[in-house]
Structure 1
Amino acid sequence: MLSYEMDNPLMGFETSFKGCFSSVLDTEKMDLKLIIEELDSIDDVPYVFICPISLEPMQEPVTLCTGQTYDRSNILKWFSLGHKTCPTTMQELWDDSITPNNTLKQLIFTWFSHKYLGMKKKLEDVQGRVLETLETLKKVKGQSRVKALKDLRKLVVSHVCARKTLLENGGVGLVCSLLGSFTSHVVGCEAIGIIVNLDLSLELKRKHLMHPGKVSLVVDIMNEGTIETKMNCAKLIEMLLMELEGNETMVEIVSSLSLLVGLLRLVRDKKHPNGVLIGLTLLKKVLCCHESIRSSMISIGAIPQLIEILPNLNNECLEIALYILEVLSTLEEGKLALKECPNIIPNVVKMLMRVSENCTQFALSILWAIYKLAPEECASKAVEAGLASKLLLVIQSGCNPVLKQKSSEFLKMCSVNYSTSIFISKCMLTTTIQ
């Protein structure tokens, strides 16, 4: 049996918890298992409370003859597997009895109860602050309103219970009511920052947000706010985009030139990769809303701007950007805009076989669109940029048959203006592959 008088690591805990026993009286009837589950994310549990077998907090600590302590269920399972040793020391057990460690059990219960009460008090404090702030918002204006919104946003961002309290107490309607024709941008920024952190039902979206005036305001704020505000506005528009089917007025607003310009500014901000991904994702979704949006994007110079940022994008962003360019390349004005971009062909050739099969497919479609406009010029520049060797790699890879076939046809077209020996040398392959 482990001695608690000699070199006992629990003695410090016993001393520190003497003042806590009175504070846990109302939790004594609670099951320790339930308390531990409620405190699932705790990461500072004392090591002496952890079962060496499961590495989880012990609920029924028992001690073996070797002096090692385990949770009852775990050590019994160890024995049921035929083991006759101590799991930690691997000593042969001269006595297979297990002794309940009530002192340790009480300490574990007290420690977790103290944490549980602290958590409950914190939750109650957060809920109270949310309710108090909502009441304040009903009464104040100007800078006082801005301050209340800032406080509420901090609570909502930091605490799940704050979001729940706001949703259950009419907070969505109150915050959304502050988004209107005469809303100042500073109020709008804070309100949007709150809304994007809420899990809103379709009913709440339609009731409080699906109004042309509110969506127009969000688009305006996106073009003038900080990078955080721009990202929040993009997130909110994306939240609403899923519900816009059949609503022509709303589609017209979210496909406005103002929004497209704002999103392009967002994706060109190299300092904020998260903003680039959010912007590209929304551009892709807006692109699918209506066919006229494609022409609008081309008219505001989306193609050269996207081509310019391709080399700086991470893999996820690169795939989305190439998808957008491929869609735009289906229009005649899109093909022309692609052809006129400086270094378009070398930049796109680099994307082949670089990231994913999807990227390769999108890049090949873009090159194909340019080739249709200027076959000889495109073929020459593409081969010089290493297209032939890339196409041969596609053909020899495990890509889908359609992509292989397209690569094979493109390779044949590119070889028309070259003799066999010159074309092979342009492929830049090893002697073996040649």
Structure 2
Amino acid sequence: MAGAKEGKALDLKTVICELESSTMEVPSVFVCPISLEAMQDPVTLCTGQTYERSNILKWFSLGHNTCPTTMQDLWDRSLTPNATLRHLILTWFSHKYSALTKTLHHLHATALHLLDTLTKVKGQNRVRALKHLRQLLDCHVSTRKTVLEHNALPLISSFLGPFTSHAVGSEVIGILVNLDLSSDFKKTLMQPSKVSLLVDIMNEGTLQTKMNCANLIQILFIEANASESHAEFLSSLSLLVGLLRLVRDKKHPTSVLTGLVLLNIVCSRESVRTSLVTLGAVPQLIHLLPTLNNECLEIALHILEVLSTLPEGRLALKECPNIIPNVVKLLMRVSESCTQFALSILWAIYKLAPQECASKAVEAGLAPKLLLVIQSGCNPVLKQKSAEFLKMCSLDYSTGILISNCMLTATIQ
């Protein structure tokens, strides 16, 4: 009863908004069938169905004279406030709100206690305290605000240095990557000693640690670009090796995506591209293409397109087994962007060996794919490039065989 009385003093709208971000499941009877959100002012129609007042009024304003759930014609459009249901909703949310408030208070107190502990302990005790804090921040978003409000970032980042163990560094990075870091703080993380440790841990940590490192490096790179700072660490061979290892882990799509996103970013620097080709990025990405989901596939193709702008990149592409038929398959398969990247890759190989490329591409079904692009709603530049490529293939390949492979009708012939 005490909880209910306490709940009545709370505004229902405020309580619902406070609990919106939580993962608790709201009873279906409290949910408006129109908006699928918890009701604040439930009203009942003559059909016995209950809706949020504002939602049903909007339904009527659109010219409807039916019940949205049953689609019955309404013989009476009056709205009856459902006071009993509103009371139940308020009571339920108030109890949940009270329980959540107590939980958050405990979590915030725990976070502050851990921060205090970190100022006093070393060795394994420090690792345990950092791990506990990281887990707290991972599971409860609200505790992140508490950590930031108590200016804990300088303390946490002070554990990153030339003598930091990887156990401590992994936990610190896991904490930092989940916090909203200020621009000034990001700049302090770009100190050579901290970046060097970050890259080392990325190469030797667990899969989750590798992803945390990659995500934090991405945040730092974005900051470096925004502030026009130099980000020489992106040219580090150790970093590139670590990213290629991350991308290679086919069993974990999330790690592949994380690695590809950062590889795509570092490719914007010309000094990095040659290093990536030398490290074998081209055959590795080509080998991965058939296993990638659509999101990863688009990023991988863009990286390959960028690397194909280098002479050594084009040569590496040409030397990959079955490269031409595998890339031809990707035309008009996923998205317009994928088609554009795939066509650029084929064009780069064609420049190295026109006759060989034309022969293999046509045999792999390039001609009908190009015709599809030309006849589709793709952008004019892509359609024009497809038309030019089709023309080049016809010059380097027997016209009769080209038409045969294209399966054109007698009318088109």
Aligned letter for 2:184?
E
Give the Cα–Cα distance (whole angstroms) in 2 for the partners of residues 386 and 63 of structure 1.
62
**2:306 maps to which of 327, 337, 361:** 327
- The worse-fitting range, judged by mean Cα deviation, of 219-228 and 345-354 is 345-354
- Look up the match of 2:255: 275
TM-superposed CA distance for 1:424, in Å, is 1.4
TM-superposed CA distance for 1:295, in Å, is 0.9
TM-superposed CA distance for 1:283, in Å, is 0.6
- Look up the match of 1:400: 379
- Look up the match of 1:15: none
TM-superposed CA distance for 1:113, in Å, is 2.2
Aligned-residue RMSD, C-alpha? 3.3
**1:149 maps to which of 130, 135, 145:** 130
Query: Structure 1 residues 112, 292: closer, same or farther in 2, change over 3 A?
Result: closer
Query: Structure 1 residues 198, 431: closer, same or farther in 2, change over 3 A?
Result: farther
Give the Cα–Cα distance (whole angstroms) in 2 for the partners of residues 176 and 224 of structure 1.
20
- Look up the match of 1:265: 245
Whether 1:422 aligns to 2:404 is no
- Look up the match of 2:212: 232
Q: In the TM superposition, what are the counterparts of 1:84-123 in structure 2 within 5 Å?
A: 101=83, 106-123=87-104
TM-superposed CA distance for 1:154, in Å, is 1.1
Aligned letter for 1:114?
H
**SS at 2:224 equivalent:** coil
TM-superposed CA distance for 1:419, in Å, is 3.7
TM-superposed CA distance for 1:66, in Å, is 9.3
Q: In the TM superposition, what are the counterparts of 1:161-310 in structure 2 within 5 Å?
A: 161-207=142-188, 209-245=189-225, 246-248=228-230, 251-288=231-268, 290-310=269-289
Deviation per residue, 1:67-122 (Å, 9 max, x gap): 8877777789999999899x9898867xx796884x66555443332222111101
**SS at 1:416 equivalent:** helix
Say whether the 8 Å CA contact 1:130–1:162 is kept in structure 2.
yes
Gaps of 5+ in 2: none
Say whether the 8 Å CA contact 1:84–1:92 is kept in structure 2.
no
Gaps of 5+ in 1: 1-20
Say whether the 8 Å CA contact 1:386–1:428 is kept in structure 2.
no
TM-superposed CA distance for 1:265, in Å, is 1.0
**1:361 maps to which of 340, 344, 349:** 340
Deviation per residue, 1:37-70 (Å, 9 max, x gap): 3223575445565667876555566789998877
Length-normalised TM-score, structure 2: 0.87
- The worse-fitting range, judged by mean Cα deviation, of 66-75 and 151-160 is 66-75
Give the Cα–Cα distance (whole angstroms) in 2 for the partners of residues 73 and 363 of structure 1.
50
Length-normalised TM-score, structure 1: 0.83
The sequence identity of aligned pairs, in percent, is 66
Give the Cα–Cα distance (whole angstroms) in 2 for the partners of residues 295 and 98 of structure 1.
72
Query: Structure 1 residues 130, 428: closer, same or farther in 2, change over 3 A?
Result: same
Say whether the 8 Å CA contact 2:169–2:201 is kept in structure 1.
yes
Aligned letter for 1:258?
S
Query: Structure 1 residues 64, 293: closer, same or farther in 2, change over 3 A?
Result: closer
TM-superposed CA distance for 1:390, in Å, is 1.8
Say whether the 8 Å CA contact 1:280–1:321 is kept in structure 2.
yes
Whether 1:381 aligns to 2:363 is no
Give the Cα–Cα distance (whole angstroms) in 2 for the partners of residues 202 and 347 of structure 1.
43
Query: Structure 1 residues 182, 84: closer, same or farther in 2, change over 3 A?
Result: closer
Say whether the 8 Å CA contact 1:231–1:278 is kept in structure 2.
yes
Aligned letter for 1:349?
V
Give the Cα–Cα distance (whole angstroms) in 1 for the partners of residues 370 and 65 of structure 2.
61
TM-superposed CA distance for 1:190, in Å, is 1.1
Query: Structure 1 residues 418, 71: closer, same or farther in 2, change over 3 A?
Result: closer
Query: Structure 1 residues 129, 340: closer, same or farther in 2, change over 3 A?
Result: same
**SS at 1:398 equivalent:** coil
Query: Structure 1 residues 370, 236: closer, same or farther in 2, change over 3 A?
Result: same
- The worse-fitting range, judged by mean Cα deviation, of 54-63 and 113-122 is 54-63
**1:337 maps to which of 316, 323, 336:** 316
- Look up the match of 1:5: none
Say whether the 8 Å CA contact 1:24–1:117 is kept in structure 2.
no
- The worse-fitting range, judged by mean Cα deviation, of 119-128 and 31-40 is 31-40
Query: Structure 1 residues 175, 406: closer, same or farther in 2, change over 3 A?
Result: same
Residues matched between the structures, number: 408
Deviation per residue, 1:110-169 (Å, 9 max, x gap): 333222211110110110011011111111111111111111111101111111111111
